[in-house]
Structure 1
Amino acid sequence: MDTMEYRFLGKSGLKVSELALGTMTFGREASKEESFKMLDLYASEGGNFIDTANVYSNGKSEEIVGEWLRGKDREDFVVATKVRFPVGQGPNRAGLSRKHILWSVEQSLRRLNTDYLDLYQFHAWDDFTPLEESLSTMTELVEAGKVRYVGVSNFTGWQLQRAVDVTKELGLQPIVSIQPLYNLLDRYLELEVLPVAQREGVGVIPWSPLRGGWLTGKYRRGMQAPPEDTRIGIAEKFGWSESWSRYNNERTWKVVDRLLEVSKEVGREPSQVALRWLLQRAGVTAPIVGARNVQQLKVNLGAAGWVLESKYVDLLTEVSEPELFYPYDFVRNAQRRR
């Protein structure tokens, strides 16, 4: 397997491996034993960036990561988690209020068996809490030594820009990263989120880089339905965003067809090529790879340490170009008339 490389996270001095390990399956599709095996494999291949959230498997994901970290050198790993979504029935058990953030960080620290978080992220925007309250609380956590860096997830372009501006205006801890949905099938963040991130020096750590399996080569043109025991089959049953009914369309199959062609030409697995394309996009720091078992993870880690030739990058970029809508199509056409 090729050698894992490391990149700075945004404008910070923190170095993370070019592939982060997502742990949403831990305690759900993956047992504790299988999760430990995946963590062992990831670490053995040079991975140091572990991403979780307080709501993954109702906290079980954090607990599994925390148990695995026992006996390890904590400084060898960059541990990231999130706060925002409901973790109970009380009126203050969700959101980005000072009360909820301060309570949530203590719960996450306990489950993760650590006295600090390397990266603490807003899991999503909160319309009901002043941004100044949320960001000042994160700064307090950094000053208290419980958090090292602050990030956001699932923000729109204007939300990210506003968060960056508030930190500058009030002298708060900067936003070092954003965690968005980004892959060959989902590229709309290129319209606003990515330009803001690049201009402001915010690292991009994409989630669902293989869109739940759509970009692994498992699904082919002509299939009538996904197998029930696959991620896409489960997504269809429960109405998750990567469902068959949402992506079973001509654009998806054109992208998948091209991905299979390129993969065959370069002698790599489709998932490795899809991840490599993302790794070579401007502004991207580290895609978050998840898996249900060691075998899947081993294949995905094969995306590290090599370069996809520019001609293949261009082929994939061209076929996956999203159809623009107003005002973005208007802006693009206006630029052509300069």
Structure 2
Amino acid sequence: MSLNELRTLGRTGALISPLTLGTLNFGTGAAPTGPAESIRIIKAALDAGITSIDTADIYSQGEAETVVGQAIHSRRDDVFLATKFHGQMGSNPAHAGNSRRWIVRAVEDSLKRLNTDRIDLYQAHRPDYNTDLLETITTLNDLIRQGKILYYGTSVFSPAQLVEAQWIANTNHLTPPVVDQVPYSLLVRANERDVFPITQQYGVGVLSYGPLDGGWLAGGYRLGAGQPESSRFSALPGRFDVTAPFNQGKLHAADALAQLAARHGLTLIQLAVAFALNHPAVTSVIIGPRTEDHLTDYLKAADVVLSEAVLDEIDDIVAPAVNFLERDAGTVAPHLEYPELRRR
């Protein structure tokens, strides 16, 4: 496997690299990577053979899209460009969601920031439980006909929502979603149970994100090593607290996986990215470097092929289709997350 071995995105016929450059860390303000370094990373990724870039309007409130637009302007036709809508932009709560009213505004804003005349893949960043899915799909279908987007997809939709989206599109003679974006890693495997079989059944490509599970698989989470320093721990201490009882299973697994990687002459990052790339449902793995050195580490993983024996060892450490935390799924349905809905 290498970055030059492009993969077909679902049944679209579009070819993209096995690694996709994610831009969550790019922009200004709270983003860890400023505009100048972000542009250097983007150009280095393209020079190395990455052809797909994933961003979102909500990343640094549009700054990530602006940086991407600046970096790829002279190479636009060589880039498969994906962005997302749904998250709230600015202080107005009406500037969010998956309604027709918001999508037609959001796509124009993204096109301007990205400095392009079309978006290759436009994705619903999260389900919208207040908007009829038919309204969202019809709006996205209209954008395809207008030439503003070429394909559309979803992100962390439940299995039922994935099937519903296909049914609604086919029943109403509309273009169906062609991509689903989901978390997937050595420590986050629940999508193997039902999401991946559904995407394979309908020919939906998968862009998986979080191959390092927010840093759990970066190498610092080891037994007896103490709490690794990270911005994620400051923002979400519960999910990354090595002393929390509910994180002990994940900590032991991360340590065992690091030992496994070392036994086979790999870094834990290489093992983690290669594992995500190995699943036949996954078209491309989204990586999120904060520096050029991080990018180099990720690129090395694209050439790693895991044997059946190594995959069996991984299964012995983390059973297939298992998540350690409910939140690792990327989203929790409102009727499960909020007591006032769950107990109604």
- Under a length normalisation based on structure 1, what TM-score does the superposition of the two structures give? 0.89
Please tell me the residue identity of whatever aligns with 2:45.
Y
Query: What is the distance in 1 between the residues matched to 2:300 and 2:245?
Result: 26
Is 1:235 the equivalent of 2:237? no
Query: What is the distance in 2 between the residues matched to 1:241 and 1:272?
Result: 26
Is 1:55 the equivalent of 2:58? yes
Matches within 5 A, 1:36-185: 36-72=39-75, 74-185=76-187
Unaligned runs of 5+ in 1: 326-338
Query: What is the distance in 1 between the residues matched to 2:18 and 2:83?
Result: 18
Task: Determine what percentage of the aligned residue pairs are the same residue.
Answer: 35
- 2:13 aligned partner: 13
Please tell me the residue identity of whatever aligns with 1:67.
Q
Please tell me the residue identity of whatever aligns with 2:186.
L
The alpha-carbon deviation at position 236 of structure 1 amounts to 2.2
Is 1:31 the equivalent of 2:34? yes
Please tell me the residue identity of whatever aligns with 1:254.
H
Query: What is the distance in 1 between the residues matched to 2:118 and 2:63?
Result: 18
Query: What is the distance in 2 between the residues matched to 1:7 and 1:205?
Result: 11
- The 1:248/1:302 distance shift into structure 2, 3 A limit, reads farther
The alpha-carbon deviation at position 324 of structure 1 amounts to 9.9
- 1:258 aligned partner: 256
Query: What is the distance in 2 between the residues matched to 1:219 and 1:167?
Result: 44
Q: Is the 8 A contact 2:249 2:324 kept in 1?
A: no
Q: Indicate the RMSD between aligned Cα atoms, in angstroms.
A: 2.0
- 1:289 aligned partner: 287
Unaligned runs of 5+ in 2: 326-344
How many corresponding residue pairs? 319
- The 1:33/1:252 distance shift into structure 2, 3 A limit, reads same
Moved more, 250-259 or 265-274: 250-259
The alpha-carbon deviation at position 220 of structure 1 amounts to 1.4
Query: What is the distance in 2 between the residues matched to 1:213 and 1:121?
Result: 25
Please tell me the residue identity of whatever aligns with 1:303.
A
Query: What is the distance in 2 between the residues matched to 1:215 and 1:4?
Result: 26
Residues 232-278 of structure 1: CA distance to partner in whole angstroms, max 9, x if unpaired? xx222222785335797332233223322332233222101111011
Query: What is the distance in 1 between the residues matched to 2:130 and 2:40?
Result: 41
SS of alignment partner, residue 71 of structure 1? helix
The alpha-carbon deviation at position 13 of structure 1 amounts to 0.5
Moved more, 19-28 or 312-321: 312-321
The alpha-carbon deviation at position 2 of structure 1 amounts to 5.0
The alpha-carbon deviation at position 313 of structure 1 amounts to 1.3
Is 1:220 the equivalent of 2:222? yes
- 1:195 aligned partner: 197
Please tell me the residue identity of whatever aligns with 1:32.
P
Q: Is the 8 A contact 2:57 2:85 kept in 1?
A: yes
SS of alignment partner, residue 43 of structure 2? helix
Query: What is the distance in 1 between the residues matched to 2:195 and 2:221?
Result: 29
Moved more, 266-275 or 119-128: 266-275
Residues 296-336 of structure 1: CA distance to partner in whole angstroms, max 9, x if unpaired? 111011111341111101111231112799xxxxxxxxxxx
Query: What is the distance in 2 between the residues matched to 1:323 and 1:38?
Result: 31
The alpha-carbon deviation at position 126 of structure 1 amounts to 0.7
- The 1:58/1:105 distance shift into structure 2, 3 A limit, reads same
